[in-house]
């Protein structure tokens, strides 16, 4: 689980570095990663890019008791799926990427889902900063989404760029909070542990509350928390199902947290088509730097 946590937070870390973090050899790390790949716990490595990093808006919604495929077909009228996570209890957490007119399309999404039991729907503004990507960065991203663990030399060859340019771009991408080198895992394949997430709504200072959560609960973190405008999403794991509710109740009591909802994922999907479309669109621009503005 510690190796999985390291890979979820930064899958470009070397086996040797992960071994140093965990306290085992790099060879043992490599063996365990291969075992998780073979068993299907790790489905594939990829990039998770927050839509605002590419100038897009994002709408999140949580629904229950409905055919998610039918709902996704409806919302595709306004945007592309960002992630889709069916959870225990018939609840599904989804998000869609919106190119423009986010508020207008948020209202349209509500109308499209009038016959669906929607627990919540909202626009989430990223708390991270826009990385001011260049066309060169996007060229490298286009290769990284296929395999973010590729060696620098291999990336340079595939993109026809120098290793110095690739290294500079990688350093920039890894330093940005809106771009995560990560993986997609299969929750049902993990034996002995339960991955789950807690969605919190914040009334107080986001960073101060995040520090409190880290101090009290970091030993339970599966990966770094996700921050939005007034939400913190905690990704956690436990070896005891009863601890899930206990920790959720403890988090609810923290000053500045308005509410906390528990979700246990059954499947995780992270569609990448919208990223490919964004890169294709960017290639048409005459500008070197891609300064986006979402209306």
- Please indicate, yes or no, whether residues 26 and 71 belong to a single structural domain of this protein: no
Please indicate, yes or no, if residue 20 is contained in any of the structural domains. yes
pTM for the full predicted model: 0.90
Q: Is residue 167 part of a domain?
A: no
* Within-domain flag for 274: no
CA distance 11 to 174: 11
Q: Are residues 33 and 60 in the same domain?
A: no
Q: What angle do CA 176, 263, 72 make, to 5 degrees?
A: 75
- Report the number of distinct structural domains present in the chain: 3
96 within some domain: yes
- 204 and 246 share a domain? yes
Predicted local distance difference test score (pLDDT) of residue 221:
97
The answer to whether residue 137 scores a pLDDT higher than 90 is yes
Residue 293 has a pLDDT of 46
Query: What's the mean pLDDT when you consider all of the chain?
Result: 90
**Does 249 lie in the same domain as 224?**
yes
Q: Is position 24 within any domain?
A: yes
Q: Kindly tell me if the per-residue pLDDT of 131 is higher than 80.
A: no
Of 185, 157, 152, 191, residue with least CA distance to 169: 152
How far is the C-alpha of 108 from the C-alpha of 96, rounded, in Å?
A: 13
Give the model confidence (pLDDT) of 245-281 as tens digits.
999 999 999 999 999 999 999 999 999 999 998 888 8
CA distance 98 to 5: 30
Whether residue 107 has pLDDT greater than 90 = no
Lateral strand order in the sheet of 221-227: 221-227, 231-238, 194-202, 257-263
Domain check: are 193 and 225 in the same one?
Answer: yes
pLDDT in tens, 201-245: 999 899 999 999 999 999 999 999 988 778 999 999 999 999 999
Residue 24, CA atoms < 13 Å, CB-side half-sphere: 12
The pLDDT tens digits for 24-48 are 999 999 999 999 999 999 999 999 9
Q: What is the CATH number of the domain that holds 98?
A: 3.30.70.260
What's residue 122's pLDDT?
A: 81
Q: What are phi and psi of 37, to 5 degrees?
A: -65, -45
Q: Is residue 235 part of a domain?
A: yes
Q: Are residues 33 and 99 in the same domain?
A: no
Q: Residue 38: count other Cβ atoms within 10 Å of its Cβ.
A: 9
Q: Which residues contact 6 (CB under 8 A, 6 or more apart)?
A: 13, 18, 21, 22
Question: Among 109-113, 156-160, 170-174, 183-187, whose mean pLDDT is lowest?
Answer: 109-113
- Say if 3 falls within a structural domain: yes
Give me the pLDDT at residue 130, please: 59
Full domain range(s) for residue 24: 1-39
């Amino acid at each position: 689980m510690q190796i999985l946590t390291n890979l979820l937070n930064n899958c470009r870390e070397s086996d040797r570095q992960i071994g140093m973090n965990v306290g085992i050899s790099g060879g043992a790390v490599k063996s365990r990663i291969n075992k998780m790949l073979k068993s299907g716990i790790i489905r594939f490595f990829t990039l998770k890019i927050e839509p605002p990093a590419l100038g897009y808006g994002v709408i999140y919604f949580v629904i229950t008791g409905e055919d998610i495929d039918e709902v996704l077909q409806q919302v595709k009228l306004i945007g592309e799926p960002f992630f889709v996570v069916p959870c225990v209890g018939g609840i599904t957490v989804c998000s869609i990427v919106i190119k423009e007119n986010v508020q207008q399309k948020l209202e349209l999404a509500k109308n499209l889902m009038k016959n669906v039991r929607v627990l919540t729907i909202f626009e989430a503004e990223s708390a991270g900063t826009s990385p001011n990507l260049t066309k060169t960065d996007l060229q490298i991203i286009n290769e990284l989404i296929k395999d973010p663990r590729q060696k620098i030399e291999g990336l340079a060859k595939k993109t026809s760029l120098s290793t110095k340019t690739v290294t500079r771009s990688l350093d920039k991408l890894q330093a940005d909070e809106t771009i995560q080198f990560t993986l997609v895992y299969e929750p049902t394949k993990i034996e002995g542990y339960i991955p789950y997430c807690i969605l919190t709504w914040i009334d107080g200072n986001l960073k101060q509350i995040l520090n409190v959560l880290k101090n009290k609960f970091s030993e339970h973190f599966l990966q770094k928390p996700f921050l939005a405008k007034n939400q913190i999403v905690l990704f956690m794991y436990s070896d005891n199902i009863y601890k899930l509710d206990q920790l959720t109740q403890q988090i609810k009591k923290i000053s500045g947290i308005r509410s906390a909802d528990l979700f246990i994922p059954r499947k995780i999907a992270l569609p990448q088509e919208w990223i490919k479309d964004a890169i294709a669109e960017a290639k048409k621009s005459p500008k070197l730097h891609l300064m986006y503005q979402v209306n």
